[in-house]
Structure 1
Amino acid sequence: MRLHALGARTALAGRDRDALTRISAACGGAPARTFDAWDLEACARTADWAAAELGGLDAVVVCVGVAAFGPAADLGEDVAEHLMAVNALAPMAFLRAACAHVGAGGVLAAVTGVVAEAAPAGMADYAAAKAALATWLTAVRRERRRDGVTVLEIDLPHVATGFARRAVAGRAPALPAGMPLQEAVDAITEALSCAARRVRPAPGGGLETLR
């Protein structure tokens, strides 16, 4: 909604049909489409759909994910596969398809998280998936630099969205108060507008934008 308020034409995608309907209405009837992140072909088709709806793409922002908690030895292989698919392969599929539509001056962006570097105990597979996505973004940034395309990694700390309570396995440990969602939105919006390569936690608190 922030991008719409700033004058951007948006296409929306997610798994919650009711939320999409509500946000679409708030964005002036923006086109919306449901998908499941574990369906990689659906992810790629959704990027193509958005380009067709809007007549091209200037920026694609992917924010999908699911967490699991507990010792790695206790995590079933089905859960481990699901974590890798949703947290790494789905964003990759979105952005891989978007590469055909985003040209010079455009942005490819995805949310990773501080777990990609911190690798906390009890979150091995979740952290590994986010680290895989971070590495992929770094490589694609190098590939697309000469094309004038910015690749943005959005490296967020714990944000107060209730995400940790929706884990597919285990229970989240005690967590500090999450960053207000609006603060994260402000930082992401700024980064999209200034060809930044990374948003990350700042040493003194809050978020910083690296160009």
Structure 2
Amino acid sequence: MLLVGRDADRLAATGLGVPVVADLGDAGAGDAVVAAAREHLGGLDGLVNAAGVVAFGSLVDTPDEVVEELFLTNVVGPIFLLRRVLPLLEESQGFVLQLSAVVAERPMPGMAAYSASKAALSAVDAALRTELRRSRVSVVDVRPPHTETGLAGRPLAGTAPRLPQGLDPADVARRVVDALAAGETEVAAGDFG
């Protein structure tokens, strides 16, 4: 297993798999992932994209650089990565699983740019699902409700609105694994118990 992230110390602290230090917003990050997958794993069976950033506040008050960072991390970076790893996934007839968010299906006021970025990621998944059908690469779009990952406490801008208690990340992870095992292509917010 490869574990990809920006912070070498945090990757090492997990003790999981082969760490690959890369920034999703760098178009070349996917090249590092492909090289590591070939060297350490002999290929790639699947990609789970769980990267994301959030911002809160009205659209008019959201700085341009925050909108850019939302889309770079939540949409453009994953597209850069996918463009590079898809040939490996086609070789293995593997899978792509991307964690979007409930706001992709139910956009929220005070989160317009974030909602739009997550909806765009879900649109990528829908298009890829058809595009990759002949290659037998599965594409899974996961849109969980608010989950207690700490993301809401680390926004790029603004302050999180009062949110209900979120899902336990371990429960979301189990649901993701179950979706993969069952061959599901979508896990909507309402599919989390």
TM-score normalized by the length of structure 1: 0.85
Unaligned stretches of 5+ residues in structure 1: 1-9, 207-211
Unaligned stretches of 5+ residues in structure 2: none
Match of 2:7 in 1: 16
Match of 1:69 in 2: 56
Bigger Cα displacement from structure 2, 135-144 vs 186-195? 186-195
Shift of 1:105: 3.7
Shift of 1:189: 1.0
1:126 paired to 2:114: yes
After superposition, give the CA deviation of every residue in 1:181-201 in whole Å (9 maximum; x if it has no partner). Answer: 110010111122232201223
Match of 1:99 in 2: 86
Retained in 1: the 8 A contact 2:20–2:33? no
Retained in 2: the 8 A contact 1:88–1:133? yes
Runs of 4+ deviating beyond 6 Å:
none
SS at match of 2:163: coil
In structure 2, distance between residues paired with 1:148 and 1:60: 14
Q: 1:51 aligns with which of 34, 37, 40?
A: 37
Number of residue equivalences:
191
* Alignment-mate amino acid for residue 56 of structure 2: F
Shift of 1:85: 0.4
TM-score normalized by the length of structure 2: 0.93
Q: How does 1:1-211 map to 2 (within 5 A)?
A: 10-23=1-14, 25=15, 27=16, 30-42=17-29, 44-52=30-38, 53-103=40-90, 105-202=93-190, 206=193
Identity %, equivalent residues: 36
In structure 2, distance between residues paired with 1:130 and 1:16: 23
In structure 1, distance between residues paired with 2:102 and 2:27: 24
In structure 1, distance between residues paired with 2:102 and 2:11: 28
In structure 1, distance between residues paired with 2:88 and 2:182: 20
* Alignment-mate amino acid for residue 54 of structure 1: L
Larger RCO, structure (CA 8 Å, separation 6 or more) = 2
After superposition, give the CA deviation of every residue in 1:79-121 in whole Å (9 maximum; x if it has no partner). Answer: 1111110011111222221111013541011111111121100
Q: In structure 2, do the counterparts of structure 1 residues 46 and 127 end up closer, same or farther at CA, with 3 Å as the change threshold?
A: farther
Retained in 2: the 8 A contact 1:50–1:57? no
After superposition, give the CA deviation of every residue in 1:103-148 in whole Å (9 maximum; x if it has no partner). Answer: 3541011111111121100111111111111111100100111221
After superposition, give the CA deviation of every residue in 1:7-34 in whole Å (9 maximum; x if it has no partner). Answer: xxx11111232221122x2x3xx21011
Retained in 1: the 8 A contact 2:24–2:81? no
